[in-house]
Amino acid sequence: MTASSLVPRSAAVEAALPLLLKQLKLARFRSHWQPLAQQAETEGWSPCQFLHALCEQECDHRLVARRQRLLRDAHLPWQKGLDGFDQQQIEAKHCLQSWKKDRQWPTSCKN
């Protein structure tokens, strides 16, 4: 048996590839391999360049999904805008910190 007889024909590959990628849980590969393959053909990419681009997209997608999952699982409160921010708490805390640093501040009569 030769190596060329083991490789399926192009139409069979295109039909089977989405199923294989789904089985391997490579969602980004499955949704982006065809447009990227066309771009690779028109630009004359090597197979390594094509595979690198696909892997890069998959890694980026997984990183974004991981961050979103971790933020969701952390149950952090929603970020608020500055319009509802109480500035007086910060000013009071700042005055208290500066007073702790310089204990002569109350007796110096300087503001």
pLDDT tens digits, one per residue of 18-50: 888 889 888 888 888 899 999 999 999 999 999
Residue type, position 76, single letter: L
**Res. 111 pLDDT band, cuts 50 70 90:** low
Q: Could you tell me what percent of the chain has a pLDDT over 90?
A: 32
pLDDT value at position 57? 92
Residue of 38, 35, 33, 5 whose CA lies nearest to 20: 33
pLDDT value at position 27? 84
Residue with the larger pLDDT of the pair 50 and 5:
50
Phi, psi of 74 (to 5 degrees): -75, -20
The two tokens of residue 95 are 């005055």
